Structure formats: C-alpha cells, structure tokens
Chains A and B, each alone.
Chain A
Amino acid sequence: METQTIISVKEMYKRFPMGKTEFTALENLNLDFAQGEFTGLIGPSGSGKTTLLNILGSLDVPTLGEANVLGKSIGKLNTHEAAMLRRESLGFIFQSYNLLAVHTVFENVEFPLLLLKIPSQERRKMVQEALEWVGLSDKIRSKPPQLSGGQCQRVAIARAMVKKPKLVLADEPTANLDAANSHHILKTMLTLNQELKTTFIFATHDEKVISYLNRKIYLLDGRVDKDEVVTHNK
C-alpha cells in the first residue's frame, strides 16, 4: 500500500550563532517521513536530533533549505501560523512530562482542546477517551504531583493524542522512566500509532525506544549517518 509523505526535508541547514562564528547543528539534511511511521532520530548529544525535532514541530526554523510539514513550509510560517499548525496537527511529548502542576489530569489533557475551541461536552468525551487509551481513567481528578513518573508520562501522551494529531514528536520520552514504565508507555504509543495511524517521531538514544521503532535515522554531527527501516512486530 502506498503511503502518503507528510514531512519532507530538503537540503536543510540549521546554524546557531556562537560568539562571532556559527555552529552548524544540521547540515544538508534530506529526509521524507510517511504517514503512520514510528520513527526515531537516534544519536549522541549534539548530533542535532532535538534541533530537527524542533524544526519539524515549528518551534524553530531552518537557516537554509526546506522543511515541509503537513503541507506547510516551516521557514515561511509566521508565529501565528506556526502556532496554528501546532494547535491543529501536532502533539508533543517531553522528557520531563511538562504537565501543568496546578491543573488536574483532566484539565491537562483538556488544554489542547480548549485552544481548538471544541464544545464542552465533546471535549469531555474526547478527554475521557484519551485517558482510557493510556489507562488513567481513574486518575481524572488527580494532579501531576500526586502521580508517579510513568503515570505523568501517560498523561502527557493522552494530552498529545487527545486531538488525534497527524504527527506526534517525542523528545527522549523515556529518559526519566524505569524499564517497566518505559515499555508500558512505548506499547501505548505503538498501539495508538497502529490504531490511529498517527506518525510518531522520537528523538532518543534509549535502546528500549530504539527496539520499538520501525525506522531508525541515525544522526551524527548534524548529518544523516544511517537511515534504516526495520520490520518487526512488538
């Protein structure tokens, strides 16, 4: 079955000013990502994986070249258009969960829907469904400080998935979790990837994450070192 390309990166560079010189974080990248991929950007610190993830998430712009995400050229978006792209089509999962500590689990997951101005009743239904996906329906009124690290990351997954985005970007999502919790959330994400056809792109160097990926893009000093597709069933 032919799959649709949702991300296209062509001859892309990202440079950061460093005193009087420049540091090249990404150099001449050429990558395509298809819908439904469960892909990892793998590499040591400083290899450029988070920088690439930031550009794909419209949080940063390329210095040169083209990054086209879901039909939008990232470099040409203004801040409002970039915000709209994130609001409507992207989900983020962070290493340190980044939940809003004073809000309940329900409210944290509800937040992206508030930005989309989804009516209250529909919102409630969608939040409940998302919390069911991650097995946290019983924690609806809890606040993040009352949850374990694994539970917090599952809330973060629910928050990223509640609006059923086309693309989820996850930066080191298992870095703060033990092995059991890591496998639990990875299985959850894989299930969602398979059921909802959501594209997942990870930035990681965690072997546990790598073992779940069906495409591994190895980055080294801002360049693609290796790009391999793996066929397996977890």
Chain B
Amino acid sequence: MIKFLIKGLLRDKSRSRLPIMVVAIGVTLTVFMHAYITGFMGDTIEMNARFTTGHAKVMTRAYAEDASLLPNDLALMQIEELLDSLRSLYPDMSWSPRIQFGGLIDVPDSAGETRSQGTAIGWGLELIANQDELNRLDLQKALRSGHLPRKSGDALLSNSFAGKLGIAPGDEFTLISSTMNGGMAMYNFRLSGTVHFGVEIMDRGSIIADLKDVQLALEMENAAGEITGFSNTGFYDNNQAEKLSDSFNSKFKTDDEFSPVMLSLSQQGNMGQYVQMSEVWSAYVSLIFIFAMSLVLWNAGLLGGLRRYGEVGIRLAMGESKGHVYRSMIAESVFIGIAGSVTGTAAGLGFAWLLQTYGLDISGMMQGASLMMPTIIKARITPTDFYIGFFPGVISTVIGTLLSGIGIYRRQTAKLFKELEA
C-alpha cells in the first residue's frame, strides 16, 4: 500500500514536483531574506565597529566619559603591557591600539607659506607594523591614488579633502594639533595616497597615518586613546562582547580615572540602541516574511488537498477508511514539506553564501550619505538559517493539508463522490 502511494506521489507531478518546487521557492526566499537582513543589519554594526567602536574598546575611565571629544590628554599609558595582557587573556580577539584626533592640515607652497588649510579628523593606526588594520578598513580597496603608507611620515588623506587642499601624492603637508600634554603639535607628513570609503563622514576630511607617527606628533609615546578589540569570528556578538567587557572590568577597573575600562560596542554612544533596534527589526522582518510565506505555503497545501477530493472519493469507494486517507495525505505533505524545505534551504543558503562572499555594491546609491552605512550589501549566514525555512516549509504545508483534509471528515462520503463525478 505504501509502495502504491509512493508511486502515485512520484508519478503525479502536480502532487509531488510542483508542491515541492513551491515549498522550495518559499523556503529559499525565507532563508535568503533572513540571511540578507542579518547581514545588512550586521554590516552597519560591523562598519561602525571597524571605523570607530571596535567590537569592544579599552579606554581610560576618564577618556570613556568624554570619548566624543577625543580627549587624548586622558589616553591610556603603557599600552604595550596592556596589549600583552589583553592578548593573553582574550586570545579570541584581535587588539589594535588607535589614536583619534582632530587637527588642522596646512599645505605649504614652494616658499613654505600656507597655500591651503583645512580641518581634519585623524586616525593613528598600526599601518606599517602589521596588516590587520589595513585589512579591517579595507584600505587597499579604498585607495584612489598613490599608495598605502610604507614608511614613517607617510599619511593618507581622504580623496575629496586632498582635492580641496590641492595636494597630490608625494606632496608634503603639516598636521597642526595639540599634544597629549596640551602643547602645540606640528608634524610634517608626506601624502602617500588618497582614499575614498564611500561614507560621507569618513570622506569629508580625514587623515590616516601610522600609529607611531601620530604618537610622535602628539607626544603619546607608548600611549593610545583607545585599544579596539575585534572578534576573530569577524562578526559582532553582543552577548559575547558584554561578557568580555564584564570580565575585563572586573579585573582592571578601579576608582582611578586613568584605570582602563572596556566597553562593548553596544555600550558606546548610541550603538546600544542600534544593536537592539537591529535585533528587533531583524526579528520583525523575518517574522513578517515567515508569516507571509507560511500563508502562501498553507494555501498551497490547502489547494493541493482540495484538488484531491476526487481521488479521495475513489479511494473511499474502494473501501479505504477516511482515517487512512487522511493520514496518508498528511504523510505526503510531511514528505513534500521536508523535501521542499531541504531543497529550499540548500538553495537559500547557496544564494546567501554568494551574497555573503561577493556582496552587492550599492555605493552608487549611497553618495552623499552622512550615516555610516555599508556601501556593499552582504548577507550573513547564521545557524538559524539552517532551520528557519522549515517553519513555513513543513509546518505550513502540513497545516494546509490538515485543514483541507478535515473536509474528508466533515463531508458526507457521498458528497465527496459528487465532487469526484463533477
């Protein structure tokens, strides 16, 4: 009997292949959408993490209180020792010291007189000692002219800013700022290249130089405004980051305003709200989409069941019991749901993987944006994507069949026959 039913299922395309395809398409969309939303929301967080907050950041307690003012006079001291501790205590994270600063860029003419000037926000990053920060900020891709800093004294300017200043790679300019101790800082840089990130606030007027040069310029030897930490998984995990900061703070935080304190990404500025919002929105969008797909697949199951009332009539006439017919229809829908969900999940993960790996460049649409948002949309595959499609795929399909099958019980057998004869 089971063999007979399986034969029927496999041979009748409208009973097997078509419903499996419908379920697979629905599940593919569900899985892909979930990975896309997770990726998009996560990318915005990751972008903020890469440029400003890190997944976690260590500062002095005093610096943390006024972090938006970039108070380098309250910077961390003896960072080499602190970095050693961080690297040994938290090997799952990658730690990089950074100095953020503000200043004036002065471009001299051939006589040494000021030719042009502009205010800039600056980043002192480890650019020469290792490749981590280069990769993290994707500087090679952001490079528009010249080359990345190779030696001491090299610096990058944002492309449009360099244009406004009338400066080209190879030209020299002076950074005028204040030292850690409150004195005036003047330091000559050579423009090695210009960069464009596609993010307005990064491209408006920025200077990026090697940490050692900035330490020299701002008299911050073995000091840094902050030490940013990035999870080696490449993705921000709020729970993990908060556990990490709690662990660090319980070890290092004291009443001293210069004691180091660690803040997770969500504990910095408005990022907490954004992380919470992105989690809620991801859940909402996913739920709405799953609900919509559930309705579609529920209907598919319902119609599939109703369409078979004729066949049900024949089987009942031959003496099959209503319960057996009903159970066999449910078993079929479970098979269809599972087959469609497996196929759809595989396809959805495939598409999501492509978007995760290659991304979709939307920089053309992001010109002039002042928000720090990614210009390349990427999906992010999470463990949830491996099972989320089964909710609409199996459950909705089976519910549709369960509901349509109720008609077998509620209708008089003779009425099923009339539908059979119709």
Contact = CB atoms under 8 A, between A and B. Distances in A.
A98 B413 contact: no
A59 B317 contact: yes
Given A86-B317, A103-B8, A115-B318, A98 B414 contact: no
Interface string B98-128: 0000000000000000000000000000000
B314 A100 contact: yes
Among B319, B321, B322, the most chain A Cβ lie within 10 Å of the Cβ of: B319
Nearest to A104: B7
A90 interface: yes
B317 A54 contact: no
Contacts of B1: 114-115
B319 A79 contact: no
Contacts of A111: 4, 315, 318
Interface string B406-422: 00000011100100110
B164 interface: no
A98 B319 contact: no
A112 B319 CA distance: 7
Interface in A182-201: none
Nearest to B4: A114
B310 A60 contact: no
Contacts, number: 79
Contacts of B321: 79-80, 83-84
Contacts of B4: 103, 107, 110-111, 114
Contacts of A82: 413
B310 A98 contact: yes
Nearest to A87: B319
Contacts of B11: 102-103
Contacts of A103: 4, 7-8, 11
A115 B413 contact: no
Contacts of B320: 83, 87, 115
A88 interface: yes
A149 to B, nearest CB: 15
B5 to A, nearest CB: 10
Interface in A99-127: 100-103, 107, 110-112, 114-116
Interface in B288-326: 310-311, 313-323
B92 interface: no
B14 to A, nearest CB: 10
B319 A84 contact: yes
A35 interface: no
B314 A98 contact: yes
Interface string A19-54: 000000000000000000000000000000001001
B171 to A, nearest CB: 79
A57 interface: yes
A23 B80 CA distance: 96
A159 B412 CA distance: 24
B12 interface: yes
Given A80-B323, A102-B8, A102-B11, A87 B318 contact: yes
B318 A86 contact: yes
Which of B12, B413, B421 has the largest count of A CB atoms less than 10 A from its CB? B413
A87 B7 CA distance: 21
B323 A96 contact: no
Nearest to A57: B317
Contacts of B316: 59, 83, 86
A94 B412 CA distance: 18
A85 B317 CA distance: 10
Contact of A92 (B311, B317, B412): B317
Contacts of A8: none
Nearest to A93: B317
Contact of B319 (A88, A107, A171): A88
Given A59-B317, A103-B8, A114-B1, A83 B322 contact: yes
12 contacts: A58-B413, A60-B414, A82-B413, A83-B319, A85-B319, A87-B318, A88-B319, A98-B310, A98-B421, A102-B7, A102-B11, A110-B4
Interface of A: 51, 54, 57-60, 79-80, 82-88, 90, 92, 94-96, 98, 100-103, 107, 110-112, 114-116, 159, 171
Given A79-B322, A86-B317, A112-B319, 16 more contacts: A54-B417, A59-B317, A59-B412, A80-B323, A83-B316, A83-B321, A84-B321, A101-B12, A102-B11, A103-B7, A103-B8, A110-B4, A112-B318, A115-B318, A115-B320, A159-B318
